[in-house]
């Protein structure tokens, strides 16, 4: 297998070498880097913006792990499988929940400070879909910021971890056997490492996070443009479950025209007893699910959307007035501040909320060692699909997945290294040149892609709505091709590379979502409202055809 397509970009003008190159500096990437160092391998972390600019820093609620009295990995497994709606890979979930508590303890040993009670014990809370208090949190609702702080501090103290910020990774490089041998990237730097270059490595780890920016309204930061999934597709890797995008039910509603990253109102607010109400003050989740407001996210997001449609409303409300000022200030300082910054005081008024794109349950297909279908290419964190989330991620399982599977990748690489099976690789330059350059859309295409996706392939989808999205995306691709034919291609730069990645990921997502003719987990088809286990209790595997178009094939049952 070799890289069949690549982003149009200048020829690399410089080369650097390391043992393991990690793309991304969230919880997953930094955990890989710290752990491969323990095996005596050199690590290089390349990241698109500053080290802490991924989703990790924004995580509020916490990390799920069976640490509490009476709780067990088996119970955590049960809750995860229920949320996943029949398409979790049970062995992957078992790995997650059994190795999770140890991974959290190792994160604490690395320096992360979680909230503790007066007795010194770690405080545990509950979130949607969990039947136990098992969410560890930090700074009240600033868990991700604390994890990011601790991991960034740890990598900065190791001189053998090279950190390259403002470096956008473009494509994979392989050797003559099709084994990952490095990558191309664009560094917004100075001196020798400026512009497009290449990094040679024995193995490549993708930890590029999510793809929320493919939609107009999302909780994800600007860097979450699905680059890792797009790179993997161009490299010939299999991706899966792209249609399962989790829409967070309670995102602060900032008006009908709001676009880009929107403030999240964590599930933990409902966990502590806030109620979802409509404009008449009716608690519409009661009677819909045994857990009411704490039902799994897809159920709450669907119920909110349905109520909005019934009432012609643009949002619902989350009412936590009964918490009182002191609890808001201590337990949810970040959310309180962000609501107040937008003119809403949750102490005295209900918070307007609506669903927004939040988490990609699908991604680059990996096994339980983090290996993708391309030898030497690994993936972990939100970019990966290990199979633990199935059709719907259980709250607070993603930071945990990032930790557990990052450790497993490092362990796999350490094992290969110890066995002498992780040699240096020679990049097959001819193969890299032979890959077909993908025409770049103009940077303005980003907003159009987002609008098309939110309009036709959002919380609620149908064949007709998705056909509209697909046609719009195809037009953007055609225009990019015509501009190349007319010798007026878009400039290769960060904005156009990101637009090309968004376009590819969006096209693949719509193709998969259109093919899955059922409603399951967070994939809600208006025209196929029932779950159809006979046909669809399986994954859809997406790869890139020779034409450059994504093709989805149902996995054998
Ligand atoms: C608002 C919010 C709240 C959340 N709350 C929780 C929670 O309470 N509990 C929980 O478990 N999960 C939560 N999540 C989800 C969780 O935060 C993410 O799934 C997780 O942090 C992803 O970690 P990651 O390391 O995979 O990616 P990220 O932290 O997103 O990091 C990705 C990295 O890759 C870099 N990158 C991307 N593309 C490129 C490229 N082309 N070249 C170079 N670098 C690149 C980015 O710059 C970034 O450094 C939340 C997410 C959001 C947005």
For 215, the token pair is 């939609």
Ligand 1 atom showing the smallest separation from residue 49 Cα: 47
Mapping DSSP onto H, E and C, the string for 192-261 reads CCCEEEEEECCEEEECCCCCHHHCCEECCCCCCCCHHHHHHHHCCCCEECCCCEEEEEEEECCCCCCCEE
What's the average model confidence in pLDDT over 265-287? Answer: 93
**Averaged pLDDT of the chain:** 95
Q: Is the CB of 168 under 6 A from ligand 1?
A: yes
CA distance readout (Å), 73 to 134, 267, 427, 486: 10, 22, 43, 59
pLDDT for position 3: 83
Q: 53: Cβ below 6 Å to ligand 1?
A: yes
| Beta-strand relationship, 63-64 and 5-7 | unpaired
Question: Which structure tokens are listed for 77?
Answer: 């497994």
**Tokens matching residue 500:** 């090309």
132 is catalytic: no
- How many angstroms is it from 210 CA to the middle of ligand 1? 6
CA pair distance 128, 89, nearest whole angstrom: 21
Q: How far is the CA of 187 from the centre of ligand 1 (A)?
A: 21
How many Cα atoms are found within 13 Å in the side-chain-facing hemisphere of 517?
Answer: 6
Task: Using a pLDDT cut of 90, give the percent of the chain over it.
Answer: 90
Q: Does 220 contact ligand 1 (Cβ within 6 A)?
A: yes
Atom of ligand 1 at shortest range from CA of 56:
21
Lowest mean per-residue pLDDT among 104-118, 128-142, 518-532: 128-142
Confidence of residue 193 (pLDDT cuts 50, 70, 90): confident
Distance 52 CA to ligand 1 centre (A): 9
Q: Which atom of ligand 1 is nearest to the CA of 61?
A: 8
Averaged over 262-279, what is the pLDDT?
92
Strand partners, 379: 206
Question: Is any ligand 1 atom within 6 A of the Cβ of residue 226?
Answer: no
CA 355 to chain centre: 17
Q: Which of 94, 132, 202, 297 is catalytic?
A: 297
Helix (H, G, I), strand (E, B) or coil at 495: helix
Instruction: Assess whether pLDDT exceeds 70 at residue 1.
Output: no
**Contact of 233 with 536, CB cutoff 8 Å:** no
Tell me, using a 6 A CB cutoff, whether residue 219 lines ligand 1: yes
In short, whether 54's Cβ falls inside 6 Å of ligand 1 is yes
Determine which of 31-40, 259-268, 340-349, 464-473 has the lowest per-residue pLDDT on average.
259-268
pLDDT at residue 127 in the model: 83
Confidence of residue 257 (pLDDT cuts 50, 70, 90): confident
């Amino acid at each position: 297998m070799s890289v069949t397509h690549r982003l149009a970009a200048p020829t690399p003008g410089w080369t650097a070498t390391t043992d393991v190159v990690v793309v991304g500096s969230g919880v997953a990437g930094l955990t890989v880097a710290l752990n491969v160092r323990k095996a005596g391998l050199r690590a290089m972390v390349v990241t698109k913006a500053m080290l802490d600019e991924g989703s990790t820093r924004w995580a509020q609620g916490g990390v799920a792990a069976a640490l509490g009295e009476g709780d067990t990995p088996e119970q955590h497994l049960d809750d995860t499988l229920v949320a996943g709606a029949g398409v979790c890979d049970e062995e992957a979930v078992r790995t997650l929940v059994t190795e999770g508590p140890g991974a959290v303890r190792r994160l604490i040993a690395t320096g992360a400070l979680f909230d503790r009670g007066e007795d010194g014990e770690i405080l545990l809370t509950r979130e949607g879909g969990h039947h136990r208090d098992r969410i560890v949190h930090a700074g009240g609702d600033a868990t991700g910021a604390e994890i990011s702080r601790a991991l960034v501090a740890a990598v900065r103290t190791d001189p053998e971890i090279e950190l390259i910020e403002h470096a956008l990774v473009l494509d994979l490089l392989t050797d003559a056997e099709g084994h990952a041998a490095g990558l191309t990237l664009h560094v917004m730097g100075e001196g020798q490492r400026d512009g497009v270059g290449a990094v040679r490595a024995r193995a490549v780890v993708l930890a590029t996070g999510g793809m929320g920016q493919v939609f107009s309204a999302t909780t994800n930061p600007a860097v979450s443009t699905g680059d890792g999934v797009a790179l993997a597709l161009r490299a010939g890797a299999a991706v899966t479950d792209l249609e399962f995008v989790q829409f967070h039910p309670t995102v602060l509603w900032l008006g009908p025209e709001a676009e880009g990253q929107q403030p999240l109102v964590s599930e933990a607010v409902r966990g502590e007893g806030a109620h979802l109400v409509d404009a008449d003050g009716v608690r519409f989740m009661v009677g819909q699910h045994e857990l009411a407001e704490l039902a799994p996210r897809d159920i709450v997001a669907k119920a909110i959307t349905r109520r909005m449609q019934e009432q012609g409303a643009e949002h619902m409300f989350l009412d936590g007035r009964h918490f009182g000022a002191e609890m808001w200030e201590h337990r949810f300082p970040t959310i309180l501040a962000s609501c107040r910054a937008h003119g809403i005081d949750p102490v005295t008024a209900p918070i307007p909320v609506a669903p927004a794109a939040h988490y990609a349950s699908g991604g680059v297909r990996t096994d339980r060692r983090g290996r993708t279908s391309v030898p030497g290419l690994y993936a972990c964190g939100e970019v990966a699909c290990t199979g633990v989330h199935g059709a719907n991620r259980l709250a607070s399982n993603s930071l945990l997945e990032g930790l557990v599977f990052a450790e497993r990748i490092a362990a796999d690489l350490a094992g290969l290294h110890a066995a002498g099976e992780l040699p240096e690789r020679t990049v097959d330059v001819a193969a890299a040149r032979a890959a077909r350059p993908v025409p770049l859309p103009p940077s303005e295409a980003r907003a159009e892609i987002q609008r098309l996706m939110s309009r036709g392939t959002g919380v609620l989808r149908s064949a007709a709505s998705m056909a509209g999205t697909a046609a719009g995306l195809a037009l953007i691709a055609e225009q990019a091709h015509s501009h190349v034919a007319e010798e007026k291609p878009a400039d290769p730069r960060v904005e156009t590379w990101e637009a090309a990645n968004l376009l590819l990921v969006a096209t693949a997502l719509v193709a998969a979502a259109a093919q899955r003719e059922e409603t399951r987990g967070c994939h809600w088809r208006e025209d196929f409202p029932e779950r159809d286990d006979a046909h669809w209790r399986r994954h859809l595997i997406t790869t890139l055809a020779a034409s450059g178009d994504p093709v989805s094939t149902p996995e054998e049952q």
